Structure 1
């Protein structure tokens, strides 16, 4: 697509810029990119390391393409300037919002990257702090280590406090009150999955979206396949009914999913619901408008822990067939284990390792991406076999007194083990080539999209325009630059042609990143 260029009149009315063919640009915007992240507690740090490698490869191609396919630019925001305060530590191209339309995950990472629009490096730093604040403070006697004590390993109140603190520090600077989940249309959107249940009912998948899920296409909603492994016995009430099934597959019909208007949930509620791992944290109760009180648990338990198929189905259900262009799925280097212990408390102890089959979802995606099927580019990054990460989802060593005695920073051993395991996997030449291929595909599409500046400005840096010219009836809505320009021309004839650019600039509203706190 980057080879088909011509002189055209661009959307702002200026002639001479060489841009991709209009049909290529329209197609690039119609088709969606999906970033899907597995769940896995502190193993999510491995996920972020893989994402860091991907964006480093993107930065290399953007800034100094070794194959000379692209003209060098300063960042993946180009041709726009890099936003103020968007990055505290890392170099400029380490953002993901400009690359993906949709981000599907069970975990906090989706909110850090998508809802807070954080860079990968800042997310790594935040994730490490979260690990210390939560996993560094387990209870002494709990359901997991004493069996008969029916209480979670970690205090839910501590997790809620940590999540609320992150929300306060990382939400948009101009957001007031308790920030809620929804985002404006036209930016990278997020779907966090959880398990929802009510009294005496079975748990089922529940999508927490930053966008309106009611605008389904006319096509029959796509069913989601759930692949079951391992657990075949046990009747403990703490285990969802879906987790007690034997091997096999079942489907959640598309019309059973919660398609509806965007939920006005607080961000901390979404993060808390998505991390309520069974026996680690107490489930969260939320009053949902029109649904009453519901109980939410971690979406990685009893359902598919690799949410890539959910993301694919979501795009098809909301946008129609053939709208998925590039799907990137990143795992947590978790070793798959067959079977589980046969007594009820053993089932609870082995849930984190046995209840889901991430590789099964990968195989389904491999089949679906074929040209004769749904025909999209698919990249999966996940260590297996000898490179698998052999740590529990809540490991944090050293911690407490042990950290003080050894004079080590809490969690240092765990973080180093994750980094070592990742490095041993990422050094493989084929893995490196896969990262390069994925990065080039994403950059190629980004360059085509960025030629439509008005839409790119809204998508990449969340810039919108709101009319404040009294007494304008459109003062309540925020729109893209091209739409706002037409609004001025059609509704405000007193704005002269040589004044339009200044008026547009005066009515601009950017996403404002919070400045970094002084240490």
Structure 2
């Protein structure tokens, strides 16, 4: 802004200070303006102040000419009434100034390393595991404690404020719903979890021939409904939220259960807390949790009308084929957040399992037929419910990245704890604390908390689930000769990222990406820069 165009307000310094302070407070509260170093912010606020004075000074003069008071009735230092500042002028400034402010900010020398696109997503996956699910919550408590120490937030930081999407199965689904859908603090979730497991598993039922489940499903349903009443005041609250909170702060939750009628493909049914283009089961929260925890050895199955058509489906334990929901979570993130990037993937187990093995005797007569079948069935169940194999596959997928994926799971002490041994909760907590005291685990959690807090994009969601990208050589050969983009071009990373993700999504056929806007907005430079990046890939 030229010196000649600035209005002199030195004689009205009280007006100047009041107007500046009011507008700076307004700008700091605006979510669509960026933040940066104090030096950058000072430059921006100075420019905003000059811009504001230039456009309001004539209004001040008009009020003085009309004999209207510039000081609020009863005294005070505010030169302009709040209504004029907030209602009349700021609306015009907001329409004219945010985009230039963005461009000015991005061109500042000390902002070269700042994030210009949307923040990276934080994903959380929780394994199923019965009683040992307490271990997962204690690990999350450690993460939240460190994140709270690094946060500027005065109140208690909740997991739903830290993670963008949480997936769970079995008892991990209960934890996911408590933290994400019900928005509990981690301490409240731990208390609710221990209370629920103690009451559900403290009394076995008498079983007869043909019955399934060693524990009463009615007790589980009663405790789930009681938990919902304490949290939201409605025992029949729906899994899918009716009124969605703001997109930037919402935590999406998805839990999985298996259909008893078809286990061939081991594809689970998803119960989501958010609308989706994919088919979603629509039911109450307690029904979704009953479905995912219906382990054949513990609870009988449950029939749920998932589509509202009076056609019910029978569900069984989500851990049968989906004990570790991380792969499903990555698929869900790709589907729900197209064009976005992921900052961190946190996968938390419920304790390292014991070794799965079949020890055969030296002679065929060492096992009876019944014993052999029992052992084989036991091994098959443990293999189906195994989560470490999936964790190893996911870790191998992200080996070359070097950061972003974290698997946390207690290694020793929990192997012998059965899923229903509620009286060993204190023992589980002790083994988890010992695990968290290990130096390598502390360092891992420190790195994890740093990446969660910074939300720096690591991978694009278009290939986060492991799908093979389209051959880049074909794309490179198909890009015709184009003029180079301007060396002064800066910013617009959000649009470039979306366009690049669209053209590398792997879909077949001709693809067209339309950029539209006012003349001089930068459409040509965005297209040229995107083409250059695709060619470099």
Q: Where in structure 1 are there 5+ consecutive unaligned residues?
A: 63-72, 76-81, 83-91, 143-147, 215-258, 398-413, 447-519
Alpha-carbon distance in 2 for matches of 1:367, 1:199: 30
**Cα RMSD after superposing both structures:** 3.5
Alpha-carbon distance in 1 for matches of 2:117, 2:373: 52
Q: 2:192 is matched with which residue? A: 126
Q: Structure 1 residues 264, 151: closer, same or farther in 2, change over 3 A?
A: closer
Determine if the alignment matches structure 1 residue 180 to structure 2 residue 246: no
Q: Structure 1 residues 444, 160: closer, same or farther in 2, change over 3 A?
A: same
CA contact (8 A) 2:134 2:193 kept: yes
| Partner secondary structure for residue 319 of structure 2 | coil
Q: How far does the alpha carbon of each residue in 1:351-382 deviate from its partner, in whole angstroms, 9 at most, with x for none?
A: 7644333222222222332456xx86111111
Instruction: Compute the TM-score of the two structures, normalised by the length of structure 1.
Output: 0.60
Question: C-alpha displacement at 1:388, in angstroms?
Answer: 4.2
Q: 1:391 is matched with which residue? A: 417
Alpha-carbon distance in 1 for matches of 2:200, 2:454: 40
Q: Structure 1 residues 336, 311: closer, same or farther in 2, change over 3 A?
A: farther
Question: C-alpha displacement at 1:323, in angstroms?
Answer: 2.8
Q: Structure 1 residues 157, 177: closer, same or farther in 2, change over 3 A?
A: closer
CA contact (8 A) 1:164 1:268 kept: yes
Q: How far does the alpha carbon of each residue in 1:390-415 deviate from its partner, in whole angstroms, 9 at most, with x for none?
A: 20011022xxxxxxxxxxxxxxxx12
Q: 2:153 is matched with which residue? A: 74
Q: Structure 1 residues 39, 200: closer, same or farther in 2, change over 3 A?
A: closer
Determine if the alignment matches structure 1 residue 433 to structure 2 residue 443: yes
Q: 2:75 is matched with which residue? A: none
Alpha-carbon distance in 1 for matches of 2:436, 2:286: 33
Alpha-carbon distance in 2 for matches of 1:2, 1:387: 46
Between 313-322 and 339-348, the greater mean CA deviation after superposition: 339-348
Q: 1:55 is matched with which residue? A: 144
Alpha-carbon distance in 2 for matches of 1:443, 1:349: 42
The correspondence for 2:270, drawn from 188, 200, 207, is 207
Alpha-carbon distance in 2 for matches of 1:295, 1:139: 22
Q: Structure 1 residues 357, 74: closer, same or farther in 2, change over 3 A?
A: same
Q: Structure 1 residues 197, 323: closer, same or farther in 2, change over 3 A?
A: farther
CA contact (8 A) 2:354 2:415 kept: no
Q: 2:213 is matched with which residue? A: 152
Alpha-carbon distance in 2 for matches of 1:134, 1:376: 39
Alpha-carbon distance in 2 for matches of 1:23, 1:38: 36
Q: Structure 1 residues 19, 140: closer, same or farther in 2, change over 3 A?
A: farther
Determine if the alignment matches structure 1 residue 279 to structure 2 residue 297: yes
Q: How many residues align?
A: 347
CA contact (8 A) 1:316 1:323 kept: no
CA contact (8 A) 1:336 1:357 kept: no
Q: Structure 1 residues 322, 28: closer, same or farther in 2, change over 3 A?
A: closer
Alpha-carbon distance in 2 for matches of 1:416, 1:212: 39
Higher strand residue share:
1
Question: C-alpha displacement at 1:181, in angstroms?
Answer: 0.9
Q: 1:381 is matched with which residue? A: 408
Q: How far does the alpha carbon of each residue in 1:284-324 deviate from its partner, in whole angstroms, 9 at most, with x for none?
A: 111222582211111111x1311111111221233347732
Question: C-alpha displacement at 1:330, in angstroms?
Answer: 0.6
| Partner secondary structure for residue 304 of structure 2 | strand
- 1:227-306 map, 5 Å: 259-260=278-279, 262-289=280-307, 292-301=311-320, 303-306=321-324
Between 360-369 and 343-352, the greater mean CA deviation after superposition: 343-352
Between 414-423 and 315-324, the greater mean CA deviation after superposition: 315-324
| Partner secondary structure for residue 407 of structure 2 | strand
Instruction: Compute the TM-score of the two structures, normalised by the length of structure 2.
Output: 0.58
The correspondence for 1:368, drawn from 388, 397, 411, is 397
Q: Structure 1 residues 28, 376: closer, same or farther in 2, change over 3 A?
A: farther
| Partner secondary structure for residue 45 of structure 1 | helix
Higher helix residue share:
2
Q: 1:355 is matched with which residue? A: 384
Question: C-alpha displacement at 1:340, in angstroms?
Answer: 5.9
Determine if the alignment matches structure 1 residue 110 to structure 2 residue 176: yes
| Partner secondary structure for residue 36 of structure 1 | strand
Q: Structure 1 residues 310, 2: closer, same or farther in 2, change over 3 A?
A: farther
| Partner secondary structure for residue 292 of structure 1 | coil
Q: 1:135 is matched with which residue? A: 201
Alpha-carbon distance in 2 for matches of 1:297, 1:271: 11
Alpha-carbon distance in 1 for matches of 2:417, 2:226: 27
Alpha-carbon distance in 2 for matches of 1:177, 1:353: 34
Q: How far does the alpha carbon of each residue in 1:73-126 deviate from its partner, in whole angstroms, 9 at most, with x for none?
A: 234xxxxxx4xxxxxxxxx23x11111111010120011001100011111100
CA contact (8 A) 1:389 1:421 kept: no
